[in-house]
Chains A and B, each alone.
Chain A
């Protein structure tokens, strides 16, 4: 069974640009969650999608948005990039995160210059 895949793996962008990251969950998983990991703040929850609906959102500005498609693949978008957005962005998939494990992808390393 294929694991969670994320594309691209590495990305370099300039301040003010926007970026779209993609996540393909494990087959059959309907929940996808996104997290931001930085050395200072650690892992922080961005949002969770289940069957194309955003169920929960973390404490991030509106520049961070996401969506989920009917095949459960998810994308997150960051507009007007800031230097502080440089981080490892991780997505996780689960059958039902309240009951089952969450499985993480390898992450997308975003560097904003």
Chain B
């Protein structure tokens, strides 16, 4: 059974700091891994999608890496801003049982960037 873990559960940093969020998954049989952002009481905003054959993806100040063999992904946020404060969720599309439409989520990292 695929399980996704995110560490740390919460993180507070001063504005301007570079930071790394971690995600690990137990089974390397995945189609892809997706990072999301969720603001309180809102839906999920897709940040980056990494296919299983890729090593990293970049979008603006965000960079996500994937090491499928070790079951790890990291989300790097450069020069953090107060507007980055949100909960960041990692999810894998597991290839177990052919369940492509089933994203398995971690519990998230709640990020607070202080001005």
Binding site for B on A (CB under 8 A): 4, 31, 33, 35, 42-45, 48, 50, 55-56, 58, 88, 90, 92, 94, 96-107, 109
Chain A residues in 8 Å Cβ range of B51: 99
B interface SS class:
strand
Binding site for A on B (CB under 8 A): 31-32, 34, 36, 41-46, 49, 51, 89, 91, 93, 97, 99-108
A interface SS class:
strand
The answer to whether B93 and A98 touch across the interface, beta carbons within 8 angstroms, is yes
Q: Mind listing 7 A-B residue pairs with CB under 8 Å?
A: A42-B107, A56-B101, A94-B101, A97-B93, A98-B31, A100-B49, A102-B101
The answer to whether B44 and A104 touch across the interface, beta carbons within 8 angstroms, is yes
Q: Are A43 and B101 CB-contacts (below 8 A) given A98-B31, A101-B34?
A: no
Q: Supply 12 further A-B pairs (C-beta < 8 A) apart from A31-B101, A97-B100.
A: A4-B43, A33-B102, A50-B101, A56-B100, A56-B102, A97-B31, A98-B93, A102-B103, A103-B46, A106-B42, A106-B43, A109-B41
Chain A residues in 8 Å Cβ range of B36: 104
CB-CB nearest in chain B for A42:
B107
Q: Are A98 and B100 CB-contacts (below 8 A) given A42-B105, A42-B108, A104-B36?
A: yes
Q: Are A56 and B44 CB-contacts (below 8 A) given A99-B32, A101-B49?
A: no
The answer to whether B44 and A48 touch across the interface, beta carbons within 8 angstroms, is no
